[in-house]
Amino acid sequence: MEHLIDRAARDIMASKRTIALTGAGISVESGISPFRGKGGLWEKYDPEEYASISSFMKDPARSWTLLAGMLDVIKSARPNPGHLGLAELERMGMLKCIITQNVDGLHQLAGNTDVIEFHGNNRWLVCLDCGKRYPIEWVSPKEIPPRCECGSIKVKPDAVFFGEPIPPEALHRSYSESQNCDLMLVIGTSAVVYPAASMPQVAKRARAKIIEINPEATPFTTSISDYLIQGTAADIIPRIVARIKALASKTT
Ligand code: OAD
């Protein structure tokens, strides 16, 4: 393990343009459940029934039985050492941007300033009937589903539901950043949801190195990743940052 931490630190230091692609795994230590695997949300809830745009339009109240709990967790969640490590890498000038599939806003709370929210976010809500937007704090546990000022209960988090398109600007920038990086950190994603999962492939085709950080292997591990550092984001990322600092202090 230590040799892989050292290898990643050296690869990042040698890179001219490192970016990260993150998934639900990086927020697990902030108390947010992932979607797949043991304890994953999709074990308990069928995404087609609760998180697709067609089911939401038919019955917003049913989707809100899942959404209310999700929003509650996000409201009180704080960045963990994995998020904070990526923010530190940005401050050190060693991380250009983050493409995240997460909708929790924790990268921004940690201090990253260039975060592409591939699947939108749950910190804002929008009324699908009149377009009015509300911050997450506006949702009260006393009124689920929440009702817009216009009377509609079609108030939906600004996250991408199944059946909805990826926000065009996020998609466009993600492709461009993936094409132009020379190193991509792929952190805490099962790498099965497209088009997000095509970003490492785009980067690889552009000859970037791909480093995975995940307790488990993914479909990328034996296909396009250069190497997997097997462990949690909250453990591994701070260790890489510390190693970079140690190496940098030796050379100055
Ligand atoms: P998943 O839940 O599919 O995968 C989570 C990944 O995180 C798995 O590979 C785990 O092994 C890994 N993991 C678990 N704990 C970890 C930890 N402490 N540190 C690092 N990694 C850890 O989440 P995503 O790949 O993000 O889409 O899922 C992609 C999309 O599927 C989500 O954005 C969401 C979902 O349906 C939408 O909501 C549109």
**Tens digits of per-residue pLDDT, 97-129?**
999 999 999 999 999 999 999 999 999 999 999
Atom 6 of ligand 1, residue of closest alpha carbon: 189
Partnered with residue 229 across adjacent β-strands are: 213
- More confidently predicted of 69 and 212: 212
- For the segment 22-72, what is each residue's pLDDT rounded down to a tens digit? 999 999 999 998 989 878 888 888 888 888 999 999 999 999 988 998 899
Least confident of 7-16, 59-68, 74-83, 236-245: 59-68
HSE-CB at 233 with a 13 A cutoff on CA atoms is 26
pLDDT exceeds cutoff 90 at 93: yes
Mean predicted lDDT score pLDDT of the chain = 95
What residues line ligand 1, using a CB cutoff of 6 Å? 23-26, 28-29, 34-37, 40, 47, 101, 119, 159-160, 188-190, 193, 214-216, 218, 232-233
Which residue's CA is the nearest one to ligand 1's atom 30?
Answer: 193
Residues with active-site annotation: 119
Confidence of residue 252 (pLDDT cuts 50, 70, 90): low
pLDDT score for 152: 96
CA 135 – ligand 1 centroid, Å: 25
Provide the pLDDT for residue 37: 82
- What percent of the chain clears pLDDT 90, i.e. is strictly above it? 88
Our mutation pick for probing the ligand 1 site, out of 214, 232, 237, 240, counting the most ligand atoms within 8 A of Cβ, is 214
Mean pLDDT of 188-192: 94
Element holding 110 (H helix, E strand): helix 106-110
- What is the reported pLDDT for 41? 86
- Position 39 scores a pLDDT of 81
Q: Whose CA is nearest to atom 16 of ligand 1?
A: 25
- Examine the pLDDT at 78 and tell me if it is beyond 90: yes
9 pLDDT higher than 80: yes
Ligand 1 centre from 37 Cα, in Å?
A: 9
Residue with the two structure tokens 């459940």: 33
- Output the pLDDT for position 44: 86
Residue 102: partners with Cβ closer than 8 Å, 6 or more residues away: 22, 23, 24, 26, 27, 117, 119
| pLDDT tens digits for range 149-159 | 999 999 999 99
- Local confidence band at 250 (pLDDT 50, 70, 90 cut-offs): confident
Q: Which long-range contacts (CB under 8 A, 24 or more apart) does 224-232 make?
A: 224/200, 225/186, 225/200, 227/4, 227/7, 229/1, 229/4, 229/5, 229/8, 230/1, 231/1, 232/25, 232/28, 232/29, 232/82
CA distances from 61 to 49, 58, 79, 132 (A): 12, 9, 30, 19
Mutate to test the pocket of ligand 1, among 30, 38, 66, 101 (most ligand atoms within 8 A of CB): 101
For residue 31, give the 3-state DSSP assignment.
Answer: coil
The model's confidence at residue 199, banded by pLDDT at 50, 70 and 90, is: very high
| Residue owning the nearest CA to atom 33 of ligand 1 | 101
Helix (H) or strand (E) holding 143: none
